[in-house]
Amino acid sequence: MPTATRTNPLSYLTTQLDELKAKGTYFRLRVLEDEQAAVCTFDGKKVINLASNNYLGLTTHPKLREAALEATRKYGVGSGAVRTIAGTMKIHMELEEKIARFKNVEACVVFQSGFTANAGTVSALLGKDDFIISDELNHASIIDGCRLSRAKILVFRHKDAAHAEEQLASVKDQPGRKLLITDGVFSMDGDIGPLPALCDAAEKYGAIMMVDDAHSSGVLGRNGRGTIDHFKVHGRVDIQVGTLSKAIGALGGYVCGSRDFIEFLYHRARPFLFSTAHPPSVAATCIAAFDVLEREPQLMEKLWENTHYFKKELGLLGFNIGGVTTPASETPITPIIIGDGKLTMEFSRELFKEGVLGTGIASPTVPEGKARIRTIMTATHTREQLDQALDVLKQVGKRMGILG
Ligand SMILES: *Cc1c(COP(=O)(O)O)cnc(C)c1O
């Protein structure tokens, strides 16, 4: 029986939250009250949204909305089981076949999220005698997958293929398997992994080559086929991961590769085996999204037009947008690097008051001293909205001493 004198064993968490408050990096969740769109209402305030991953505006695309509604009417709201027991519906198979055709690979498996796709794949593939050669800025889901696998992790300097090759060379006489892994586009900096050089290194040492294209699908390559297509390294990347949660507009992650590799994941990837399959509406939405990528290339064109404009103007204002001489980011993600976590969070709050949502991101999501506002362009921002956002960034940046 609980007694009044029972002490709270979770009180240490309150202490830790107090520490965050003292540091200035404590945050509240901002709550969206209408659709995820270029201009929308958070916490009762209408703002220009520079923070979503909704690159192509597909979260509210009429064809996707209709596909979700139709699938719900036809098949109900849930799948009722994990994929391996009774939860594989025809529409799940259709989606996987569609993605495999789009990516021009033998086979594809869809996971509940991009996070589980990475973590489930890496941990299923390797064991404690194996080696993972991983970019220092790879996504947290890759890092967790590496840890779960118990393989030895050799980190290489960001985008440094020569260092990756050194790491591979250092274990070339060890019997374990080697996996070389990189993000296609890095989520916090918006720069692109050096795929051709990494493929060379992987081939030289017989390593498995894996790329996480979460931020590149729908953004880079023909019709958004990702970095493999962008660099024309078809056939040289064994494992391609992507997400259905960003440009695709819904939810999920996928893994593409050879038929045997995908069949192996059916048998061994733990999120696939132990977590329920997507509702049919999500699968239907994603099928419609890939149709849109193929049939409405103007969305990607608009995304890039906005990206070039916004990045150029941000640089002209004098913000630190990464890189030394030229901007590091080559994609719709442009960081405004502030450095100090507390100042970054204050900057974000002031921007919000003036009608711009630019979320502050601090440690541990980015390294200490590299706190930033991460901006993301979409195809649905208008030039007027971008100009207005740039004006707010300039005014607030000057007022707070971030701009000279
Ligand atoms: C967002 C992201 C993921 C996770 O995808 P979700 O579908 O949101 O779980 C994985 N890898 C990278 C690089 C990401 O940016």
Name the band, by pLDDT with cuts 50, 70 and 90, for residue 326.
low
308 and 261, same domain (yes or no):
no
Give Cβ neighbours of residue 41 (< 8 Å, ≥ 6 apart): 32, 33, 34, 47
- As given in the structure block, the two tokens for residue 343 are 């100042």
Domain-located, residue 13: no
Output the domain CATH number for residue 238. Answer: 3.40.640.10
Q: Which atom of ligand 1 is nearest to the CA of 138?
A: 13
The pLDDT of residue 186 is above 90: yes
Nearest to 279 by CA among 80, 100, 113: 80
Output the domain CATH number for residue 303. Answer: 3.90.1150.10
The pLDDT of residue 313 is above 80: yes
**Of 295, 329, 363, at which residue does a domain stop?**
295
> Is the model more confident about 37 or about 322?
37
- What per-residue confidence (pLDDT) applies to 3? 63
**Probe target for ligand 1 pocket from 112, 115, 185, with the most ligand atoms within 8 Å of CB:** 115
- What per-residue confidence (pLDDT) applies to 2? 63
354 and 267, same domain (yes or no):
no
Nearest to 26 by CA among 389, 360, 387: 360
280 and 357, same domain (yes or no):
no
Name the band, by pLDDT with cuts 50, 70 and 90, for residue 5.
confident
- The string of pLDDT tens digits covering residues 282-295 is 999 999 999 999 99
Distance from the alpha carbon of residue 53 to the mean position of ligand 1, in angstroms: 10
Atom 7 (ligand 1) nearest CA: 114
The pLDDT of residue 69 is above 70: yes
- What per-residue confidence (pLDDT) applies to 4? 72
Domain-located, residue 356: yes
Atom 6 (ligand 1) nearest CA: 114
- What per-residue confidence (pLDDT) applies to 322? 84
The pLDDT of residue 29 is above 60: yes
Instruction: State whether the beta carbon of 111 lies less than 6 angstroms from ligand 1.
Output: no
Name the band, by pLDDT with cuts 50, 70 and 90, for residue 404.
confident
314 and 172, same domain (yes or no):
no
CB 221 within 8 A of CB 230: yes
Instruction: State whether the beta carbon of 121 lies less than 6 angstroms from ligand 1.
Output: no
134 and 199, same domain (yes or no):
yes
Domain count, the chain: 2
Nearest 5°: the CA angle 24, 27, 31 is 155
113 and 212, same domain (yes or no):
yes
Name the band, by pLDDT with cuts 50, 70 and 90, for residue 1.
low
Instruction: State whether the beta carbon of 186 lies less than 6 angstroms from ligand 1.
Output: no
Question: Which residue range is the domain that position 344 belongs to?
Answer: 23-52+297-399
- What per-residue confidence (pLDDT) applies to 331? 96
The pLDDT of residue 324 is above 60: no
- What per-residue confidence (pLDDT) applies to 329? 79
The pLDDT of residue 323 is above 80: no
Catalytic residue annotation = 187, 215, 246
- The string of pLDDT tens digits covering residues 356-383 is 999 999 988 888 899 999 999 999 999 9
Domain-located, residue 7: no
- Alpha carbon 2 to chain centroid distance? 44
Query: Percent of the chain beyond pLDDT 70?
Result: 98
The pLDDT of residue 256 is above 60: yes
Instruction: State whether the beta carbon of 187 lies less than 6 angstroms from ligand 1.
Output: yes
- What per-residue confidence (pLDDT) applies to 342? 93
- What per-residue confidence (pLDDT) applies to 24? 86
Atom 3 (ligand 1) nearest CA: 114
- As given in the structure block, the two tokens for residue 81 are 């089981």
Name the band, by pLDDT with cuts 50, 70 and 90, for residue 393.
very high
Domain-located, residue 16: no
Instruction: State whether the beta carbon of 333 lies less than 6 angstroms from ligand 1.
Output: no
338 and 389, same domain (yes or no):
yes
- What per-residue confidence (pLDDT) applies to 327? 62
**Probe target for ligand 1 pocket from 141, 188, 365, with the most ligand atoms within 8 Å of CB:** 141
The pLDDT of residue 143 is above 80: yes
79 and 170, same domain (yes or no):
yes
Q: Which atom of ligand 1 is nearest to the CA of 53?
A: 1
The pLDDT of residue 257 is above 90: yes
**Of 275, 295, 315, at which residue does a domain stop?**
295
Distance from the alpha carbon of residue 55 to the mean position of ligand 1, in angstroms: 14
Distance from the alpha carbon of residue 183 to the mean position of ligand 1, in angstroms: 10
Q: Which atom of ligand 1 is nearest to the CA of 185?
A: 13
Q: Which atom of ligand 1 is nearest to the CA of 252?
A: 7
329 and 344, same domain (yes or no):
yes
Domain-located, residue 221: yes
**Of 295, 322, 351, at which residue does a domain stop?**
295
- The string of pLDDT tens digits covering residues 195-213 is 999 999 999 999 999 999 9
The pLDDT of residue 74 is above 70: yes
